[in-house]
Amino acid sequence: MHKIDMDLIEMTMDVMKYTIDRISSTQHKIGKPKKAEELKGLVGDTITPKGVGGEYAFKMWKKHLAKANVPIDHPRHLAFVPASPTRAAIMFDLITSASSIHGAYWMEGAGGIFCENEAMEWIVSLTGLPKGAFGVFTSGGTAANLSAIVTAREYWRSLNEQNKVEKGLVITSVGAHSSIKAMAKVADVDILLVDTEDVMYGTALQETINNLTAHQRRRLFAIVATGGTTNAGIIDDLEGIARVCEAENLWFHVDAAYGGGALVADSVRPLFKGIERADSITIDPHKWMFSPYDCGAVIYKEPELAKRAHSQEGSYLDIFKDEGAHGFNPTDYQIQLTRRVRGLPLWFSLATHGTDRYKEAVERGLELAQIAGDIIEKMPHVELVRAPSLSCVLYRRIGWKPEDYTHWTYENHKKGFALVTPTKWKTGDTFETVSRFCFINPDTTEGDIKAILNSMK
Ligand SMILES: Cc1ncc(COP(=O)(O)O)c(C=O)c1O
């Protein structure tokens, strides 16, 4: 398996050709999922004692399996938070895979980690956090949020003996991403939600804190604000929340997994005022910084606190702390030990294109949301639910019931035309099913937007 022979050389050429075609193509097809039994019926058993051979396995991949995926970088994929990795980043993802770099410790991955840190310095500079702040790349926003919550909780526990036996409590809002609630479960802390899907203001947060019981207040250790909600692109009142956190001595985490990319855009940067006062921030380069999956990031005002929470101990790891191995060890600042140097593709793309091109590409996503808003306002069969925020647009098809949105989504997906999915918007106590665009890909056109809206007629 580890020897070089003719078959391997031919396979390398085939894989490279496939990759070159994929990187250089401008017209990806929107694939359709199939049931696992259907896929099994098409490809048969592929894992056998003797192997089916690379040529056959690759043929099955191209003929059947690749077509069951929806490329996230399709210009009419506007569902969830899509992605649009640059070609430079995708190419360097290949180098990252081919190089077998262990990205946990400087001793083994100094070259790769150096590059990651160069990219990280730029990201940290966008946040305005004070000198000394730094971060590491994670597998995504979920892992970044978990790493930050655990750091905050361990810091709180270190403050006094009573905290060590209490279950912690975190306040966030209804608009926060599902990963905050899920990661609170993993960290075994309780979550209390400020009841708004719109902007969480410092005043509402203060009121919630004032209404806590004395015991709840003792258990409260962190506030999670959102810098661009997944559903609607809403940025919480970061300045007001920072003020409350400082006055109440609480850890201030900003989940900007999606919105963080927009920190580079002059047109919306002022909306993030207050983020520079955070204790920790999540930003996902695999969302709006055009990196391939998977690449999230967690940044700390005081990285030393993260190190205290996450640094792993073991006799087999002592060597990494040795004088000769000194350097920055990414494993110390998040939950993962062995890790891919997943910031490397971002570094290469940034180095290739320069940060100005990133600014332009993000501004285009913001502009597309405004363009979509204008088009919607002119069409009689659709209307805006709220003004576009960051690159998210919520709109309704007048007269449609929830099942109409579902049917329309499946029809467009089946035709290989577009992937735009419904969501819900909460007003008071009611949830309305609506449609949603999220723009990331700068190659999406006005024509794409009009065609999607026309398909709702
Ligand atoms: C605001 C926010 N936080 C966290 C996440 C989770 O990130 P990931 O899917 O990379 O784990 C998302 C994903 O969409 C998000 O939008």
pLDDT digits (tens, 9 = 90+) for 46-82: 999 999 999 999 999 999 999 999 999 999 999 999 9
314 CA to centre of ligand 1 in angstroms: 32
Helices 178-186 and 141-157 cross at an angle (nearest 10°) of 50
Q: Do 418 and 82 form a contact (C-beta atoms < 8 A)?
A: no
Q: Do 384 and 398 form a contact (C-beta atoms < 8 A)?
A: no
Q: Do 267 and 113 form a contact (C-beta atoms < 8 A)?
A: no
Judge if the beta carbon of residue 288 lies within 6 A of ligand 1. Answer: no
Residue 230: pLDDT above 80? yes
* CA-wise closest residue to 263 among 81, 361, 127, 370: 127
**Is the whole-model pTM more than 0.75?**
yes
What is the rounded CA–CA span in Å between residue 422 and residue 80? 9
6 CA to centre of ligand 1 in angstroms: 44
Nearest CA residue ID for atom 5, ligand 1: 141
Residue 40: pLDDT above 80? yes
Q: Please state the atom number of ligand 1 nearest to the C-alpha of residue 229.
A: 1
Question: Which 8-state DSSP code applies to residue 324?
Answer: G
137 CA to centre of ligand 1 in angstroms: 14
Nearest CA residue ID for atom 7, ligand 1: 141
pLDDT tens per residue, range 279-303: 999 999 999 999 999 999 999 999 9
Judge if the beta carbon of residue 258 lies within 6 A of ligand 1. Answer: yes
9 CA to centre of ligand 1 in angstroms: 39
| pLDDT on residue 96 | 97
What is the rounded CA–CA span in Å between residue 384 and residue 398? 10
Gap between the terminal Cα atoms of the chain: 56
Mean pLDDT throughout 98-117? 95
What is the rounded CA–CA span in Å between residue 432 and residue 301? 39
Q: Please state the atom number of ligand 1 nearest to the C-alpha of residue 286.
A: 10
Report the range of poorest mean pLDDT among 258-272, 306-320, 377-391, 441-455.
306-320
| Percentage above 70 pLDDT, the chain | 99
| pLDDT on residue 56 | 97
Residue 320: pLDDT above 80? no
| pLDDT on residue 254 | 98
What is the rounded CA–CA span in Å between residue 84 and residue 32? 19
What is the rounded CA–CA span in Å between residue 202 and residue 184? 22
| pLDDT on residue 36 | 97
pLDDT band for position 37 (cuts 50, 70, 90) = very high
| pLDDT on residue 323 | 64
Nearest CA residue ID for atom 6, ligand 1: 141
What is the rounded CA–CA span in Å between residue 117 and residue 77? 31
Residue 145: pLDDT above 80? yes
101 CA to centre of ligand 1 in angstroms: 26
DSSP per-residue string spanning 394-445: EEEETT--HHHHHHHHHHHHHTTS-B--EEEEEETTEEEEEEEEE---TT--
Q: Please state the atom number of ligand 1 nearest to the C-alpha of residue 230.
A: 16
Mean pLDDT throughout 31-36? 92
Mean pLDDT throughout 129-143? 98
Pocket test for ligand 1, best of 146, 177, 390 (most atoms within 8 A of CB): 177
User: For the chain, how many residues are written?
Assistant: 457
| pLDDT on residue 160 | 95
pLDDT band for position 116 (cuts 50, 70, 90) = very high
CA torsion sign, 345 to 66 to 420 to 77?
A: positive
Residue 27: pLDDT above 90? no
pLDDT band for position 262 (cuts 50, 70, 90) = very high
Residues 6+ apart with CB under 8 A from 235: 199, 226, 227, 228, 259, 271, 272, 389, 390
Share in percent of the chain as helix, strand, coil (round to 5): 50, 15, 35
Mean pLDDT throughout 315-319? 82
Strand order in the sheet with 280-283: 134-138, 296-300, 280-283, 251-255, 220-226, 169-173, 190-194
Residues 6+ apart with CB under 8 A from 315: none
Judge if the beta carbon of residue 253 lies within 6 A of ligand 1. Answer: no
pLDDT tens per residue, range 177-216: 999 999 999 999 999 999 999 999 999 999 999 999 999 9
Judge if the beta carbon of residue 141 lies within 6 A of ligand 1. Answer: yes
Q: Which amino acid is at 65?
A: L
- Helices assigned H by DSSP within 263-401: 285-288, 303-310, 344-353, 355-378
* CA-wise closest residue to 172 among 254, 68, 101, 290: 254
pLDDT tens per residue, range 395-435: 999 999 999 999 999 999 999 999 999 999 988 888 999 99
Q: Please state the atom number of ligand 1 nearest to the C-alpha of residue 228.
A: 1
What is the rounded CA–CA span in Å between residue 153 and residue 251? 9
Judge if the beta carbon of residue 296 lies within 6 A of ligand 1. Answer: yes
Tell me which of 32 and 20 has the higher pLDDT.
20
Mean pLDDT throughout 21-50? 93
| pLDDT on residue 62 | 96
70 CA to centre of ligand 1 in angstroms: 19
Name the average pLDDT for the chain. 96
pLDDT band for position 110 (cuts 50, 70, 90) = very high
